[in-house]
Homo-oligomer: A and B are copies of this chain.
C-alpha cells in the first residue's frame, strides 16, 4: 500500500498527477490518499502529524510524504525504513519524528534522478517514482547513511512531542503535537489564561464547553462539543499550548 501525505490540497491537478505516476509505475499496488492538507510549507508540524498517523498502518506500507518548501533547492531526498514501514520524502525534518518515535530507523539518501525533473513538482517527478519502486518491493536506489546527530535534518533538534497545534479539522478540532501518553494522567491543557480539563469523548462534555481528549491517533486534541475549538479559542497551526499539572 502506498499512502499519500502531502500539502498539495485536493484542489488542482497535483495529487491526481502523483496518483497517475503510481498507477503506471506500481500497477496493482493500492494507493490511499491519507491527507492532502498537511500544514502547508511547514515540515515541523507535519512531521508530528505523520508520525501519529503512521502508527495505524500495517507493515509494508510506503508513505509518500511531501511538505517541501525547499523544492528546487539543494535539500536531499531520503527513504526511511522503520518498523517495517517505509517513508519517502525531502530531508527537511518531515520524516524525522516518525523515525524517532518508531526507533531503529534506517535511512537512505536517494541519488536516483529521473531523466526529466521539473523544478517545482518533485512529488510527481521524483518522490512518486521512488515510492513506486519501494512499493514494488525493491530497495531504494541510493546509499545508506550512517546514523549520527545530523540524521534526518533539522528534526534532530526537535522535541519528542511538540506543544503546539499542528492541524485544525473541518469541525474546528485542534490537534496538537503531544502524544497523550506523554502527559500525566488527568493533566490539564493551558491556553493563555484558560485551563482545559480532560474528557474521554465529546458526549461527556456539555455543549459549547472546551476540553481536551486523546484523539483517535493518540494525540492530545482540543475540542468543543458541537462547536469549533479553532474559532472559539482562536487556534491555528502553530498556536502554543502548555501542559498543566492537575491540581488547582
Name A's B-contacting residues (CB within 8 A).
Answer: 1, 3, 8-17, 19-20, 23-24, 27, 30, 32-37, 40-41, 49, 53, 56-58, 69-73, 118-121, 124-125, 167, 169-171, 200-204, 213-217, 226
- From known contacts A40-B171, A70-B203, A120-B216, infer whether A34 and B10 are also in contact, taking CB-CB under 8 Å: no
Cα A121 to Cα B53 in complex, Å, equals 13
Q: Is the CB of B20 within 8 A of A119?
A: no
Residues of chain B contacted by A216 (CB below 8 angstroms): 17, 118-121, 124-125
Q: Is the CB of A1 within 8 A of B20?
A: yes
Cα A1 to Cα B169 in complex, Å, equals 28
Tell me which of B12, B33, B69, B120 contacts A35 (CB under 8 A).
B12
Residues of chain B contacted by A41 (CB below 8 angstroms): 226
- List 16 A-B pairs, Cβ < 8 Å: A9-B169, A9-B171, A11-B35, A11-B37, A12-B170, A13-B35, A13-B53, A16-B33, A19-B32, A20-B34, A23-B32, A27-B30, A71-B202, A72-B200, A72-B202, A121-B215
Cα A6 to Cα B71 in complex, Å, equals 28
In whole Å, how far is A171's beta carbon from the nearest beta carbon of chain B?
7
In whole Å, how far is A110's beta carbon from the nearest beta carbon of chain B?
19
Q: Is the CB of A169 within 8 A of B11?
A: yes
Residues of chain B contacted by A17 (CB below 8 angstroms): 34, 53, 56, 216
- Ranked 7 nearest A-B pairs via Cβ: A72-B201, A121-B216, A9-B170, A119-B201, A16-B34, A118-B216, A73-B203
Tell me which of B23, B27, B119, B200 contacts A213 (CB under 8 A).
B119
Q: Is the CB of B30 within 8 A of A16?
A: no
- From known contacts A19-B32, A20-B34, infer whether A69 and B226 are also in contact, taking CB-CB under 8 Å: yes
Cα A171 to Cα B202 in complex, Å, equals 33
Cα A169 to Cα B16 in complex, Å, equals 14
Add 13 more A-B contacts to A12-B35, A20-B57, A120-B202 (CB < 8 A). Answer: A1-B20, A9-B170, A12-B37, A14-B169, A16-B33, A16-B34, A17-B216, A19-B33, A71-B203, A72-B203, A73-B201, A118-B216, A121-B216
